[in-house]
A and B are shown apart, each in its own frame.
Chain A
Amino acid sequence: MSHLGIIVKRELASYFVTHLAYVFILIFLVLSGVFTFYMGNFFERGQADLMPFFNFHPWLYLFLVPAISMRLWSEERKSGSIELLMTLPIRKFDAVVGKFLAAWFFTGLALVLTFPLWITVNYLGSPDNGAIFAGYIGSWLMAGGFLAIGSCISALSKSQVIAFILTGLICLLFVLAGFPLVLNLFEDWVPLLVLDGLASLSFLTHFNAISKGVLSLQDLFYFLSLIVAWLAATMIVIEIKQAN
């Protein structure tokens, strides 16, 4: 097995031995059920789709994903095991990407476990399963974006609490980037071009497009490049921290 594979395997296993996995999955399933049925008016809408389910994902991820990502590097730094990991003959790339992938696969698993909703909607009506599939992919990509941000923030701090809060905050900015709340902050002092750029960074815009069933290359590229950029930043942060 490659070093990357070995690290993914170890990380994934540690989610399950620490019970973090079970707690996370349970909370994720309960909350997505609550959001879909009560707040999303799943039945009252009378439509055979999973829009109410996906619509709440950005907000759900806002506090659930930082809870996973905060331990990626903060814990290693706090316990000192980062010294062990980084003096093993592995590339930094393998460590950073391996840890990220394990977390990403894990959120993927949590998403897959929401399949009873998909069964329900198929039992009740005949939904566009292509659109639902696209929604799942979009949600998973968005989770990856959140996680990549969290990975970088977690590499910055020894404290998991700080990592959690900062990650939540930055993710919130990304989610709301297209909203007046955030844009008004910048309106007065940045050129229009930058403002448009900021608006186009919004998670919501891209995620909504995908969750409606349109899996465009543009939105895919947006999430993937976001992940790559934040993981590259993670590597740089680790490099700098190590030199000091």
Chain B
Amino acid sequence: MIEISHLSKQFGALKAVDDLSLSLVAGEILGFLGPNGAGKSTTMKMLTGFVAPTSGSINIHGHDIGSEQLAAQKLIGYLPEGAPCYDEMTPASFLGFIAEIRGFSGAEKVQRVADVVEKMSLQRVLGQRIETLSKGYKRRVGLAQAIIHDPKVLILDEPTDGLDPNQKQQVRELIRGLSKDKIVIISTHILEEVAAVCSRVVIISEGRLVVDCTPEQLASRSKFDGAVSIRFTAATALENIVSGIAELASVASVEQTESSLTVFPEDKAKLFVALSQFLSQHELVPESIFQERGRLDEVFRQVTVEDSELENLS
């Protein structure tokens, strides 16, 4: 269990994190979102004991990060932003070093290193210097050191940044495959990632928490949630159709672009059936008709950009 209460961090005049409170229980995979400079990395640095908070406290499974730093750090696996490693070392010697620091020796150390090498498919580069590795491999070495002690709390700062789509998939599967007694915190600005792996989303903007919900709830804030798009052949006259659909009971509005329509529902009503009925009644055959899903990027913009723009106006 992680308890963050009234956490703030001030860098000179800049308030990087502003009164952030959050509590996490085992099994949660938290997607930590926010525009660049919103305070994500700073929060993670405070969670791991690298940066001391200006005020507020962090408790990790009963250990306060300020007063019992080592006990808390033992429970944490951390991938810092950019996955820094000792570049002159090889993955084999680097992981061996981390395993020793984490308290493993002898056969157990060998086993631990072998396990993460297998999990992150590092066999091919084990004897190569880390500085000569590709970005993807480097990131995987960073991930390997973070999970070597099977930590209860895993904190990953942009774990898939710079990876190709296959590698991203691999990392997401790894995170999903972690046992259910862990707390995982992932910062990212890739929104599909959140929908793909996270059970909870927190968005911060200018250091403040602006959203805390599930990915589904976040998606449902999008105006596209529940909307239906219909595409007609170019020859179809759309005017009558638009006005006809707009009169349907549960329709809030209709947007037209060239030969397709997007129909937005009133109060999250189910539109699909009503629209199919409408189309067949009027003997209209659309090219395609599909149910839209909530667009996370739209919601993200809504909660982060508008926030700061409003402030600029006032």
B84 touches which one: A10, A79, A89 (CB < 8 A)? A79
Chain B, residues 67-97, CB within 8 Å of chain A (1/0): the string is 0001101101010111011111100010001
B22-30, B98-106, B168-176, B222-230 - interface stretch: B98-106
B interface: dominant SS: loop
8 A Cβ contacts from B120-151 to A: 129, 145
Q: B residues within 8 A CB of A128? A: none
Closest CB of chain A to B98's CB: distance in Å?
7
Shortest CB–CB separation between residue B49 and chain A, in angstroms? 6
Are A88 and B89 in contact (CB-based, < 8 A)?
no
Contacts of B76 in A (CB 8 A): 87
Contact, CB under 8 Å: A87 / B52:
no
Contact A87 B49 (CB under 8 A): yes
Q: Is the CB of B105 within 8 A of A1?
A: yes
Q: A89-B70, A89-B73, A242-B52 are in contact. Are A13 and B101 (CB under 8 A)?
A: no
Q: In the complex, what residues of B have CB within 8 A of residue A90's CB?
A: 70, 101
Given contacts A87-B78, A87-B80, contact A6 B50 (CB under 8 A): no
**Complex CA distance for A13 and B97, rounded to whole angstroms:** 11
Count of chain A residues with a beta carbon within 8 Å of a chain B beta carbon: 22
- Interface 1/0 per residue, A1-44 and B, CB below 8 Å: 10100100010011001100000000000000000000000000
Say yes or no for A243: interface residue by CB 8 A criterion. yes
Q: Which of A6, A17, A81, A244 touches B101 (beta carbons < 8 Å)?
A: A6
Asked if A88 and B101 make an inter-chain contact with CB atoms under 8 angstroms apart, the answer reads yes
User: Within 8 Å of chain B (Cβ to Cβ): is A60?
Assistant: no
What's the nearest-Cβ distance from chain A to residue B297, in Å?
29
**Which chain A residue has the least Cβ–Cβ distance from B69?**
A89
CA distance A89 to B86 in the complex (A): 17
Chain B, Cβ-Cβ closest to A18: B88
Residues of B within 8 A of A91 (CB): 70
A84 on the B face (CB < 8 A): yes
Q: Once bound together, how far apart are the Cα atoms of A3 and B104, in whole Å?
A: 11
Contact with A along B35-70 (1 / 0, CB 8 A): 000000000010011111000000000000000001
Q: Check if A87 sits within 8 Å of B82, measured CB to CB.
A: no
Which residues 144-168 of B have a CB within 8 angstroms of A? 145
The answer, among B49, B84, B93, B105, for a CB contact under 8 Å with A81, is B84
Chain A's closest residue to B80 (CB) is: A83
Tell me which residues across on chain B come within 8 A of A87, comparing CB atoms: 48-50, 73, 76, 78, 80
* Residue ID in chain A nearest B41 by CB atoms: A83
Mask for B205-245, Cβ within 8 A of A = 1, else 0? 00000000000000000000000000000000000000000
* Residue numbers in B under 8 Å from A10 (CB-CB): 86, 89, 97
- What total of chain B residues lie within 8 Å of the partner, measured CB to CB? 31
Nearest residue (CB) in A for B157 is A83
B residues near A83, Cβ cutoff 8 Å: 45, 50, 80, 84
Contacts of A1 in B (CB 8 A): 100, 105
User: What is the CB-to-nearest-CB distance from A79 to chain B, in angstroms, rounded to a whole number?
Assistant: 5
A89, B102: Cα distance in complex, Å: 7
B47, closest chain A residue (CB):
A87
Q: State the CA gap A17–B145 with chains docked (Å).
A: 21
Task: Please report the C-alpha to C-alpha distance between residue A240 and residue B87 in the assembled complex, in whole angstroms.
Answer: 26
| Contact across chains for B85 and A81 when beta carbons are under 8 A apart | yes
A181 to B86, CA, bound (A): 43
Q: Which listed residue (A14, A88, A89, A243) contacts B52, Cβ 8 A?
A: A243
Q: Does A80 contact B (CB under 8 A)?
A: yes
Which residues of chain A have C-beta atoms less than 8 A from B80's C-beta?
Answer: 80, 83-84, 87
Cα distance A157–B37 when bound, in Å?
Answer: 23
B87 to A3, Cβ gap below 8 A?
no
CB distance from A73 to the nearest CB of B (A): 14
A86 at the interface (CB under 8 A from B): yes
Which residues does chain A contribute within 8 Å of B100, judged by CB atoms?
Answer: 1, 6
Contact B50 A89 (CB under 8 A): no
Assembly CA distance A121 to B75 (angstroms): 58
- Give Cα A1 to B100, complex, Å: 8
Taking CB atoms, residues of chain A closer than 8 Å to B71 are 89
Contact: A80 with B82, CB < 8 Å? yes
Given contacts A6-B100, A83-B45, A87-B73, contact A242 B51 (CB under 8 A): yes
Minimum Cβ distance to chain B for residue A95 (Å):
10
Given the known interface contacts A1-B105, A242-B50, A242-B52, the answer about A88 and B88 at a Cβ–Cβ threshold of 8 Å is no
- The docked-state distance in angstroms from the alpha carbon of A90 to that of B69 is 9
Once A13-B93, A80-B80, A83-B45 are accepted as A-B contacts, the answer to whether A88 and B86 lie under 8 Å apart by CB is no
Nearest CB in chain B: distance from A134 CB, A? 36
* Residues of A with C-beta under 8 A to B48: 87
Chain A nearest CB, measured from B262 CB (Å) = 45
Are A79 and B97 touching (Cβ within 8 A)? no
Q: 14 additional contacts, CB 8 Å, given A10-B86, A14-B88, A90-B101? A: A6-B97, A6-B101, A10-B89, A10-B97, A14-B89, A84-B78, A84-B84, A86-B50, A87-B76, A87-B78, A87-B80, A88-B73, A88-B101, A89-B73
Task: Name the 8 nearest CB pairs between A and B, nearest first.
Answer: A80-B84, A89-B73, A87-B48, A83-B80, A89-B74, A81-B84, A89-B70, A243-B52
